[in-house]
């Protein structure tokens, strides 16, 4: 009765077969997703590289100031210090 516990479950074969089937039948869809994601990432990289770092810090600080409101929120200070720290550490300020 407990004989089924002695046999191994062929899980690795099932996974391999499933991955092979997905690769064979859905390759066009996955290729489309990859190219779409690459296009979005290239656009974001180009857009963020177009803005000088100090100008981006000033704009982000102003946006954070207005989003934070007048209730004593220090979001804009955290934003500016954080971005200045990141640009200093990674040397992004030209």
Q: Is the pTM of this model over 0.85?
A: no
SS3 state at 80? helix
The 10s digit of each residue's pLDDT in 50-67 is: 988 788 878 877 887 787
Distance CA 37, CA 22 (A): 19
pLDDT at position 49: 85
Instruction: Note whether 83 and 56 are within 8 A (CB).
Output: yes
The 10s digit of each residue's pLDDT in 7-54 is: 788 899 999 999 999 999 999 999 999 999 999 999 999 988 898 878
Concatenating the DSSP letter of every residue in 17-72 gives HHHHHHHHHSHHHHHHHHHHHHHHHHHHHHHHHHS-HHHHHHHHHHHHHHHH-SSS
């Amino acid at each position: 009765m407990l004989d089924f516990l002695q046999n191994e479950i062929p899980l690795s074969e099932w996974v391999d077969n499933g991955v092979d089937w997905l690769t064979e039948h859905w390759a066009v869809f996955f290729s489309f997703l990859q190219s779409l994601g690459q296009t979005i990432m290239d656009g974001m990289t180009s857009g963020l590289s177009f803005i000088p770092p100090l100008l981006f810090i000033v704009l982000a600080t102003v946006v954070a100031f207005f989003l934070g409101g007048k209730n004593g929120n220090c979001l804009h200070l955290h934003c500016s210090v954080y971005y200045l720290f990141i640009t200093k550490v990674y040397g992004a300020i030209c």
